[in-house]
Amino acid sequence: MADIGTLSTLRIIASNDQFDAPSAETFAIGEAVRVDSNGKVTPANATSVSEAKFRGIAANEANYAGEAITVLTDGTVDAGDVFSSVAIDTVIYLSTNDGRWSDSDVGRNEIQTITVSTDATGGTYQVIYDGATSSALAYDANAATIEAALEAMSTIDVGNVRVTGTGPYTVEFMNDLGDQALDEMTTATGSILPATATVTVAEATAGYSSVAIGTVVPLWSNTTADKGLRVKA
């Protein structure tokens, strides 16, 4: 996996759709961008659901916050020689670095852990995710029981998690919840015994969003030298 080199030039060859909006900050020409909650253009990246909302490629640089930016959402750009070593038909993805392009899919599953403290001797706990609460889980519930309880939650559903281990328990989000950054689960431990016992959740591996921003295409007849990016937001 590698980020595409920094662009020094970018030229729109064909535009099927584009829009203009003010910038939220300074950034370079050709950066992959999103629109923030204030309607301003800012660099996108694959590290969170909100920041991975790719809207297009910046056709001009932002030298100051508030500068008008043209964003190409559907079309083809000539990006100079940045694709010199990248094959035609290669899918280009949003990088984990702000605004950058990657020639490999950076998407990966979110992995979190559930840890019941070793002093727990009884009682139950619940797992909370995205507003939904699981059924009560015994303090010593095994991985299969935890997995079933999570899958029964409306915000997770069957097939979207895999729970392994004997404590701490590893929860991998997959399928519909795979390849994206997710909020961390929390727990409710009202009946765990003794009162000093805890059930905690931690992020073991941050999920990254898999966002294709375009495909490398030939620009002219010389496909070995003249390559561009077919952008589709």
The answer on 139 and 226 residing in a single domain is: no
Nearest to 209 by CA among 47, 64, 68: 47
Confidence of residue 225 (pLDDT cuts 50, 70, 90): low
pLDDT for 223 equals 58
Note whether residue 3 is domain-resident.
no
Question: Tokens 């909100």 identify what position?
Answer: 50
- Whether the Cβ atoms of residue 25 and residue 42 lie closer than 8 Å to each other: yes
Residues near 203 by beta carbon (within 8 Å), at least 6 away in sequence:
110, 111, 112, 184
Distance CA 56, CA 43 (A): 10
pLDDT for 222 equals 61
The answer on 80 and 21 residing in a single domain is: yes
The answer on 168 and 220 residing in a single domain is: no
pLDDT for 81 equals 83
The answer on 84 and 158 residing in a single domain is: no
- Whether the Cβ atoms of residue 183 and residue 129 lie closer than 8 Å to each other: yes
Backbone phi, psi, residue 143, to 5°: -60, -40
- Token couple for 99: 């605004």
Q: In this model, does residue 154 exceed pLDDT 60?
A: yes
Confidence of residue 224 (pLDDT cuts 50, 70, 90): low
pLDDT for 6 equals 73
Domains identified in the chain, total number: 2
- Token couple for 164: 């392994």
Average pLDDT for 37-45: 95
Average pLDDT for 133-140: 96
Q: In this model, does residue 92 exceed pLDDT 90?
A: yes
Note whether residue 39 is domain-resident.
yes
In 9-149, beta strands by DSSP E: 11-22, 32-35, 41-43, 56-58, 68-78, 91-94, 101-102, 111-116, 124-129, 132-133, 137-138
- Token couple for 129: 């995710």
Distance CA 109, CA 107 (A): 7
Average pLDDT for 176-205: 94
In the chain, beta strands by DSSP E: 11-22, 32-35, 41-43, 56-58, 68-78, 91-94, 101-102, 111-116, 124-129, 132-133, 137-138, 161-164, 169-173, 186-188, 199-205, 212-218, 227-232
Average confidence score pLDDT of the chain: 93
Average pLDDT for 86-95: 93
Q: In this model, does residue 181 exceed pLDDT 90?
A: no
pLDDT for 48 equals 87
Note whether residue 58 is domain-resident.
yes
Average pLDDT for 149-170: 97
The answer on 16 and 63 residing in a single domain is: yes
Look at phi and psi of residue 125 and say left if phi exceeds 0, alpha if psi is from -120 to 50, else beta. beta
Note whether residue 4 is domain-resident.
no
**100 DSSP assignment:** -
Which structural domain, as residue segments, surrounds residue 33? 11-107+209-232
Confidence of residue 221 (pLDDT cuts 50, 70, 90): low
The answer on 33 and 96 residing in a single domain is: yes
Average pLDDT for 39-66: 94
Note whether residue 16 is domain-resident.
yes
The answer on 81 and 51 residing in a single domain is: yes
Note whether residue 115 is domain-resident.
yes
Average pLDDT for 87-102: 94
Q: In this model, does residue 62 exceed pLDDT 90?
A: yes
- CATH (domain of 26): 2.40.300
Note whether residue 145 is domain-resident.
yes
Backbone phi, psi, residue 91, to 5°: -80, 135
Q: Give me the residues paired with residue 78 across strands.
A: 11, 228
Q: What is the largest CA-CA distance in the chain?
A: 74
